Chain A
């Protein structure tokens, strides 16, 4: 039989109300005072026709070094679980309808994050024979991450403007 005394439990109870032992990260410049999603944002990533450069950088942003998840941003497996879509690449003809369907499957209110120059209407592939357009086809992006490709720091910072952490 294990017996507890209330004295033994006190440190445990105190830790529940205590401040975190780690320090708060400084807020990046240009971050809005009040974020659209408080503390957490779930994103469905759609590769609409990328060269996979952005994918490498996103993988790195969510990897152990930059660890974007500690700021509340998460990549999820279905748009039904998501608060928005993270689009990379130009929109190829084959991916135009799937991209629209994915956005439609995300419940509102939702955001569109365009990652990389291709998604923002630039990049080396725009005007190619298989290219239908860019992510602006599905509406003006709420968050734009320029760069070819944008680095993990840029991606993490952009996601922090959504989560507010």
Chain B
């Protein structure tokens, strides 16, 4: 039954892509959306059945790929990733139907989106090297082409170039890692590799893990391999951005966990300390850049780097604790990492879709040009607010439960002896605390500057609510933010099963079952449902008191009076004088000057008559990625120089090429003779 659902889902996805390619313009959008939704529902149902039963569903076909055939296998770990991809995919598919209806959907985009979603469902079910690499490349290529649908803009072309290079270098590293372990284990299917992993020499295992970490880490936005992410995620069409940030980056983490814990059976302590260390770096780097960014989607992209960093710290801690033999603590850390990952998919998908609606409505995603959107896009603004509260880890939303679990996992890990592990966990706690604050700063800025106040440009003033399909797609992702936040206890047993599969064997349950979150063998319990009820009660009480006071004041003859915002009594007061995103971020930018290295430029020209009167003041500020500028620029310059040298040998002359061929032949004959 689960196998049929899984195959049916993949088939529906492929037919959605076909429908998008061949149907006429009017009907292809809705048809593709309906088929995509069907694909996602079928895959969701299959994955939920697998998670609930704890079994594994395997499908083999010898015909589809030559030599090796296709092996699909859905186990509880993969099921978690299929479920998140299915939910984000259904929301993005629905959103894309509305996005395309207003002139945003070419035939290419409508056909590729269902294929991209299908590949996202396929990667976590692939169970052999050939199948996995095929699905992985399908995912990379479809997302690259979807990014290129905006090829008329220079930024999109640049982003696509970065993305293409990074994703293919990553895929090469992953392939090399798989080939290395596959050759030593003597098998191509994941099951065969797992069975023979113990026989692989340690040096080969370590090399394979480092290669896999580089390849998958780049997909997960791990610093310093993240540089494509803050370029590609903002430039992609919004449903694709949501899929990239909500589902695709997850698969990087999936790859690391599957390779390290699954295929290589845990491995060595330093692997996992490296994962956790890179996670700390990603969390801090992403958090600082998100707090400093004034571009709404770039802010969200850096926040993805930040959140994936937190997930990687959790996965690294789980690996390290499992290697040192603390299975219960490892399971707790892994559950926390998976919970944070699932909750990140929901809120980041919701935020990206809402940001896309803002961009569509106001014509820009520059926070300094927005403002006053809460009145103009009330539903989208509310949904963005839910996502923002969730990412800030405030209670009744999912981020709170996720970060609580991560903190519990890190703090409890101290009881595991070992200075290296304890240091890594301590760094994890510190990173979680600092990025928590930075995230609040970033999202107070995003919501406060973008949605409150007065519109700063005519575009923002003329913005109106987007269509029902876009709103419904965004709302679909706001629901899990609330559900996971209020009753996290309902999904924790399922995640525990996935964590058990990831870490091998059946570890003891680190969390007690129930609606709240309770750690086994400890008195620490939180009841998020109770917390939500108290918060709601408090809000209702406060609202009632305000109404009561307003009524009393009205009876005494006072009435509310609307007055201009206080601007120090200036005669000319415009919306441009409001607090901007850049000015809000300025103090933080100063604090983190050494990380951000902003480019500031102030030009003041004076009147000819007197130096005391300014004629014009121009201020430019630009924050480039310091990693990109410091590490990647020299590399691209080097490659370019090398290319120019190579060009001298390749001058286009047919005679010269014939000469090369002849010389090569002579050399070959001399060598062979």
Contact = CB atoms under 8 A, between A and B. Distances in A.
B564 interface: yes
Contacts, number: 23
B570 interface: yes
A60 interface: no
A97 interface: yes
A80 B558 contact: no
B612 interface: no
A142 interface: no
A98 B566 contact: no
Q: Which bucket holds chain A's interface residue count?
A: 10 to 19
Interface stretch (A8-16, A63-71, A102-110, A144-152): A102-110
B579 to A, nearest CB: 16
B113 to A, nearest CB: 50
A102 B558 CA distance: 20
B563 interface: yes
Interface string B268-290: 00000000000000000000000
Interface in B554-592: 558, 561, 563-564, 566, 568-571
A98 B564 CA distance: 12
Nearest to B572: A97
Interface in B645-661: none
A99 B566 CA distance: 12
Nearest to B567: A101
Contacts of A78: 566
Nearest to A96: B571
Given A97-B571, A98-B571, A108 B558 contact: yes
Contacts of A107: 561
Contacts of B561: 107-108
A164 interface: no
Nearest to A46: B569
B558 A101 contact: no
Contacts of B558: 108
Given A108-B558, A108-B561, A79 B570 contact: no
Interface of A: 78-80, 97-99, 101-102, 104-105, 107-108
6 contacts: A80-B566, A98-B570, A101-B564, A101-B569, A104-B563, A105-B564
Given A97-B569, A101-B564, 17 more contacts: A78-B566, A79-B566, A80-B566, A97-B571, A98-B568, A98-B569, A98-B570, A98-B571, A99-B569, A101-B569, A102-B569, A104-B564, A105-B563, A105-B564, A105-B566, A107-B561, A108-B561
Closest 5 CB pairs of A and B: A98-B569, A101-B569, A105-B566, A97-B571, A102-B569
